[in-house]
Structure 1
Amino acid sequence: MAELPVSHDDFDVPVIDVSRWSTGSATERAALASAVDAAARSVGFLQITGHGIPATAGPGLADAMDAFFALPLEEKKTLCAPPEINRGYTPPKAEKLSLSLGVTSPEDLFEAFNVGVDGTAHGEGAAARAHFPANRWPDPHRVPGFREAVETWFGHAGALARLLTGIFAHALGLDEGFFRPYTDHSVDVLRMNNYALPAGETHVERGRMGMGAHTDYGIVTVLWADRVPGLQILGDDGLWHDVLPAEDALLVNLGDALARWTNDHWRSTLHRVLPPTDAEGRLVRRRSAAYFHDGNHDAVISPLPGCVPAGTDPLYPPVTIGEHITAKLAGSRALRPHDDAARESARLLAATDTTATATATDAADAAADDDER
């Protein structure tokens, strides 16, 4: 593997075993909640072990993803959806995650397939159509067992996400069930990612990101990923730090909803994925699957008690989860820069390593090159 830039061995994503949360003593539960609180305040990422997901579920998901992404591009494109529908297939170079922060960059290299909660369980109104669209599944004869493996992982990751929200509530000094009314019809999505170049291309262009810098939009993300370098987290030092999943661990990161609820006491951390390449600059396989536990589309996010210092204003105005996610997706999927992410974009633009985004000149050159092709 080619050496990735800006690697710092002293950057730590805590490994937290949650296996004793439901059955542990009050002392054990308090210690676990304290560890979660410390990670949420300092890093915004955790490595979760003791999650109870069967050992066969991850490999089953990976095999299903491999089978789907191996299909011909034109066949996968039949499962594309309009940008406002967060379902189906996304080809390489179709999205720019950095636009969810209002920051321009070349198109990201990843391809993806999204599934989510089916709206038929939530009625036939406008909200169901907007936030719970029907899934688009590949032909089961072409990808046998795909839907079953994906739905199995969806269920396990969702159960872990809901367990974590109970721990989060406890860590914030709230009743363990505090988040349930905000998540009882959550707009959860599983995004399966594969890092690939369009047909005929073998090398990564300068300035390209596997996945551009962004924060996640909802409450918490449960991430399965290959132990292949690429994922980087922006630290308080303004530098990008490499992160690999620990053995048998799932990476978990907090999203914008928790940052807004806590008035930024807890972190929605900027992260990105560098193109995974070999020493000659050729893209190598890297897969991931991010389960986004985002919350109810009509849940209002406003600061929790005690999170806003006396005599100061909240850092963010109240917003519904649906409004926030819609605005963010309009950036990444519809390529309309999000114009209400000043705090996040300022952190990104101040980062010491600027390879996460193109300069204005790089972006213009990339656009010109695309036009010429």
Structure 2
Amino acid sequence: MESDTTLSLQPPKKIAVIIPCYNEEKTIAQVIDEVFAVLPNAHIYVFDNNSSDNSRNIVKAKITEINALRASNLESQSTDSKPLDSKTPTKSLTLHSVSTQGKGAVMREAFALIEADFYIMIDADTEHDASILPQALAYFSTHKLDMLNIAREADSSTYRKGHSFGNKLFSKSTQMLFGTKINDMLSGYRIFSRPFVKSFPAHSNGFEIETELTIYALEQRLRTDEIKAPYKSRPEGSFSKLSTFKDGFKISLMILNLLFSERPLLVFGVLSAICFLLSLFFGVPVFVEFLETSKVARFPTLFVCVGLMVIAVVLFIAGLLAHLVTKSIKESRYLAYLQSKRESYKGIYGE
């Protein structure tokens, strides 16, 4: 990572920080303060997802506090002959409500509503280290990335064993199936470009959104990278909303679903090959017996053999057709990505 800790963009660009929030009354205020401490000009959007605790009221109090500070600054500007410096922080905090339960639903709405140049996704539980954001944004901008995954660096006492095992399992599975180099696939701490956000389909509703983000970036061949950051434990009384088995099952289904939709030729090709080999397994003995005796003594086996061969051919053709459809969909997505890229590329990167 670059040693420079200042994100220098000319002219200044809008940085949107998206914080999904569900019953995080013990931590949400601290996360907001930590982000503003390093990115005072950021636009923070808290998306409340049916919280039943005091999270909403805490965010509303923060908004009132920021509005009062802004009014005070404006009053000072009107009474002071010297105008406020252009570098004076202009904090912005907005609260949105999302009725559809799940982190994926939150991110889908956030990506649709927010207009920005850089999008930061960070959890509301204080587990992520916000102090690295200036360096991470500088790295993101310098390398002209579309997605930067901020992997969690944690010791065994911080990371729940079930979550740690599941994350490693899913990350390795995705690496094997899709070829990604992302080591922390389930990280909820990421930075995105505007073209990425505005072309991302966002089908997920729950925690499987991180899986979809990773595989989408890979399948569209977008510029991605990963850096590591410290991972902190939750404060006492704060609990993770991620269910090891329930959400793990959903993530598994998402990987399988994306495998079928993004790599249909691979899936149908493997199934076709299995049927073809089984057909040979049952058919070769029947054929050898026919050569020796000029008779077919096992008609049921022959029927099974022929049926499997037909299924193998049908599956292979289905895979080819699905591959062509998927290719067309990917091209449409990439055109949407390029359109957004043209609109923002020159201004953001100063070229």
TM-score normalised over the length of structure 2: 0.28
Structure with a larger share of its residues in helix: 2
Q: Which has the higher contact order (CA 8 A, sep 6+)?
A: 1
Structure with a larger share of its residues in strand: 1
Mark the structure with the bigger radius of gyration: 2
TM-score normalised over the length of structure 1: 0.27
